[in-house]
Structure 1
């Protein structure tokens, strides 16, 4: 992605509405089975991005509902932060509104498919160091992060950039009803993820984009069934 710093006057020195933040954190904790600092950070990044995109008000209300799939979210890591982002945006892998591009970074790109506005949201470089400032009496640095990330103002916690995608949005979204067969392995390919090479339809694995190799030493032996 190429990027330029988003207009800083779009981020104001406020924190999210506390009842809303508490609700989102409770829901994230239920999904994740506990609450941790990166979930809080994920919720805050997403809320800040939604506010800048104008998908929620400047007071963070009302809660954003993504029933019409207007928002597409790309998260740059899996784990705790992804759960916080998913809860706040309403985006899910199952609805094809949340994608993981694993760069190992606590960051997310929010794409308003209606207005075509795209922003990338990440923590500021000094956000970790602010934990002891905003939670000086926390019993540990972990607890300081947990508390501070809930109350640090947006302009100190969040960095927002306006970005452009390296692929057309239509290609990323694709058409979910398209199905073709790979000419080499004969497996079905959906969502327009095939590669056409010299007129031949190939899945990404057969085209060389592989994340696994078959293990020839493993063989499945059919179980014998007794017949009476």
Structure 2
């Protein structure tokens, strides 16, 4: 079997280091002139798969220790020490200049021989759709188990709409708790998240844990603390309370000051809003690199009262507007059933101020 070197990697890393760090940098792939025509049309692809040769790796072990603890077989790991010496990474193509491909996310050192380049195609290269159909949280659970916190924060940002320190703290606490409780694949209502705040922190918790109002696994307590308790119905629980409350003032004073101006007082310019967004993103991805104990007081097996499984209520119809309502929320007047709106009754509303009583 013969392998042909088609390109070489140009990287600031001359020796192997942790792949997580290497994948956060840009590299250049210089394609040999005789293969230049093979790059025709490559700019149409956002992501590429790079196959390369671990030219500095020697030997291999069929069983080896993992970086995060425990042991694994060689073919169940990403070890660079392999019988064939072949590595593969999916990278983002930033631009092409002649025979040079500028990429982000390549965990290969300077001088690494490249043996093939292919466009990444999600419909061919992602896990089978049937896995996702059987378990909607299949990908999230894998990210939790393997502690791919960067990816989890990226996905949580899609839900939240932006990156910020408290979203990152929610992701950090969620990943730590679900791994400690071995509950990454907990089913609906088997794992509850009891939240004590409705801040950005809560979206990080919701995304990682899968606990939401809609599936009745998210319990909101209007206490106003940046805290959450993960509760397994099997009896185990973990509470995370943000004890390092002044970390922004201590570690990021400029960002805290900008936040006060842009968000708290609504006095920031567009340029300052953009600056805060960039700072928040930088800080968020720094936070998830830390140990949870830096920010949280973590308590195990505390006393906590949790509700039973959510009951299924019958439906009723409002006598006035004729709209269907949950029976438990109906109001009875003069032997007729009304919704709270038509009955002009009080109701509870959860908004930015917390849980408040509203009058119709």
TM-score with structure 2 length normalisation?
Answer: 0.40
Shift of 1:145: 4.1
Shift of 1:41: 0.5
What secondary structure, in the 3-state scheme, does the structure 1 residue paired with 2:229 have? strand
**Residues 19 and 160 (structure 1 numbering): CA distance in 2 closer, same or farther, change over 3 Å?**
closer
Find the counterpart in structure 1 of residue 311 from structure 2: 175
What secondary structure, in the 3-state scheme, does the structure 1 residue paired with 2:358 have? coil
**Residues 180 and 212 (structure 1 numbering): CA distance in 2 closer, same or farther, change over 3 Å?**
same
Instruction: State how far apart, in whole Å, the 1-side matches of 2:212 and 2:248 are.
Output: 31
- 1:1-228 aligned within 5 A: 20-55=148-183, 64-113=184-233, 115-125=234-244, 128=247, 132=251, 140-141=255-256, 143=280, 145-161=283-299, 162-166=301-305, 169-170=307-308, 173-176=309-312, 178-179=313-314, 189=326, 211-214=357-360
Shift of 1:155: 2.3
More strand by share: 2
Please list every run of 5 or more consecutive structure 2 residues that lacks an aligned counterpart in the other structure. Answer: 1-68, 70-143, 257-278, 331-338, 349-356
Instruction: State how far apart, in whole Å, the 2-side matches of 1:189 and 1:125 are.
Output: 42
Q: Which has the higher contact order (CA 8 A, sep 6+)?
A: 1
Please list every run of 5 or more consecutive structure 1 residues that lacks an aligned counterpart in the other structure. Answer: 1-13, 56-63, 195-202, 215-228
Shift of 1:79: 3.2
Greater Rg, structure 1 or structure 2?
Answer: 2
Cα contact 2:196–2:224 (8 A) shared by 1: yes
Cα contact 2:216–2:310 (8 A) shared by 1: no
TM-score with structure 1 length normalisation?
Answer: 0.59
Instruction: State how far apart, in whole Å, the 2-side matches of 1:116 and 1:127 are.
Output: 33
